[in-house]
Amino acid sequence: MKAGLSPAELRDWISARLDPLDESLVCGSRDGRETRSDFDLGQGTPPADGTPLKDAAVLVALVERPAGLSVILTRRSDTLRSHTGQVAFPGGRCDPGETPWETALREAHEEIGLDPSLVELAGLSTPYRTAGTGFQIMPVVGFVSPDLMLTPNPDEVAEIFETPFGFLMDPRNLSQQERETPAGDRRRFYAATWEGQYIWGATAGMLRALYDRLFGASLA
């Protein structure tokens, strides 16, 4: 992280490196901006342009703790049909006509009880495309006061936890890993472990894309 900055200066530094909230950008807009994806590390071949995508948005909620920024993450419920038990940002599929930040705030309220009025939106990070499920996800970054009460929706969330933003923005912690799929293919992805929580896949990919955006690193 950027050392020596006050909380207000750090807010400004992060916000200046994000895309602004454009009211014309409803979910489903394809405006030619850079997109990251599961395919970036060699996981198969992307479908041809024009393949329909399901639009979603997530909230990258940065809590302003006295010790520094932390990120709100969830462990998905074991009863869900997909991505059971995986670590994720609060978020979900867009409703028609929503902006990405409307989706992210609505889903965060539904999943973890985060009051939208406690979130100061900062901007948009890099859109992320998933390989298996065909989603295009818009990460929405916002700052959150530490005076918050969160309640997990048991139908969707098994656990809510926070991870230091500085830990997640250290490329030594968010590293490339590889595993074999049930089909026998090799899948390569970003991953980090924090206090027993395994953060990987699209969530880690979006964190790496945010790191690259903030610090000007290349995909590596």
| Separation CA 192–CA 171 (nearest Å) | 9
> Residue 216 region, left (φ>0) first, then alpha (ψ -120 to 50), else beta?
left
Q: How confident is the model at residue 218 (pLDDT cuts 50, 70, 90)?
A: very low
- Return the exposure string of 31-48: e unless at least 16 CB atoms fall within 10 Å of the residue's CB, then b: eeeebbbbebbebeeeee
> Residue 134 region, left (φ>0) first, then alpha (ψ -120 to 50), else beta?
left
220, pLDDT greater than 50: no
Residue 79, C-beta contacts closer than 8 angstroms, at least 6 positions apart: 155
> Residue 122 region, left (φ>0) first, then alpha (ψ -120 to 50), else beta?
alpha
Structural domains counted in the chain: 1
User: 29 burial class (0-12, 13-18, 19+ CB within 10 angstroms)?
Assistant: middle
Mean pLDDT of the 81-100 span = 85
Range name among 66-70, 88-92, 186-190 with the lowest pLDDT average: 186-190
| Separation CA 189–CA 131 (nearest Å) | 12
Domain contains 84: yes
Average pLDDT, the chain: 88
Domain contains 102: yes
Domain contains 194: no
**Domain of 58, in residue numbers:** 7-21+52-170
> Residue 4 region, left (φ>0) first, then alpha (ψ -120 to 50), else beta?
left
Domain contains 181: no
Q: What tens digit of pLDDT does each residue of 33-72 get?
A: 889 998 888 665 666 666 788 999 999 999 999 999 999 9
Domain contains 64: yes
Q: What tens digit of pLDDT does each residue of 129-177 get?
A: 998 788 999 999 999 999 899 999 998 899 999 999 999 999 999 999 8
Tell me the HSE value of 163 on the side-chain side, using a 13 A CA sphere. 25
CATH of the domain at 71: 3.90.79.10
Domain contains 17: yes
Q: Where are the alpha helices (DSSP H) in the chain?
A: 7-15, 100-112, 165-168, 201-215
Domain contains 158: yes
Q: How confident is the model at residue 11 (pLDDT cuts 50, 70, 90)?
A: very high
